[in-house]
Structure formats: C-alpha cells, structure tokens
Amino acid sequence: MSLVLITHLEEDEGGAYRQDIHIEGGQCGGYATACGLDGGFSGEEMRSEPAPRGAKINCSACFQLWKEFRRVRLNQFSPECAK
C-alpha cells in the first residue's frame, strides 16, 4: 500500500501549510487519496506527492476506511470482480 503526502496550500495563522499523510487512492475513482481528495488535480488548493519513507497516516477518514474494509474477506467477492 502506498501513502501520499497532501500539502494544503492555504496558510494557517502561523503562515505554515498543513500536511497530511493519506492512503493512496490507487485506480479507484480518480482520487489521489482513499478518502476522496483529488490532490489538487481539479484546481483545489493542495498538492499531492509520494509520502516520505516511514511516514505514518494521520488522516482519520483514511483510518476509518481501512478499519471498515479490512473486515471484508476475499471469499466474499464474486469471481467476476477479478476480471
């Protein structure tokens, strides 16, 4: 599983940019992250790049998705899904 670093390009009160580590969206839905951020591709005020080695996910939405999806087992899928 790859991780992605999202930098939000709106400065906070201290003049810093917020950065979050997310689960990469992969081939699903055209999003940069599993939680649905597009990584700035649509002109949103953010930038997407691979997360540095050893980075830890700090997105609560990505964590919740991971918790929910890990309960699904491979044998619950129809063979047609793998095509």
In this prediction, residue 6 has a pLDDT band, given cuts at 50, 70 and 90, of very high
Rounded to whole angstroms, how far apart are CA atoms 60 and 32?
16
More confident residue, 43 or 73: 73
Domain coverage including residue 28: 3-82
Number of domain units in the chain: 1
In this prediction, residue 34 has a pLDDT band, given cuts at 50, 70 and 90, of very high
pLDDT value at position 30?
82
What is the pTM assigned to this prediction? 0.80
Mean pLDDT of 16-45: 86
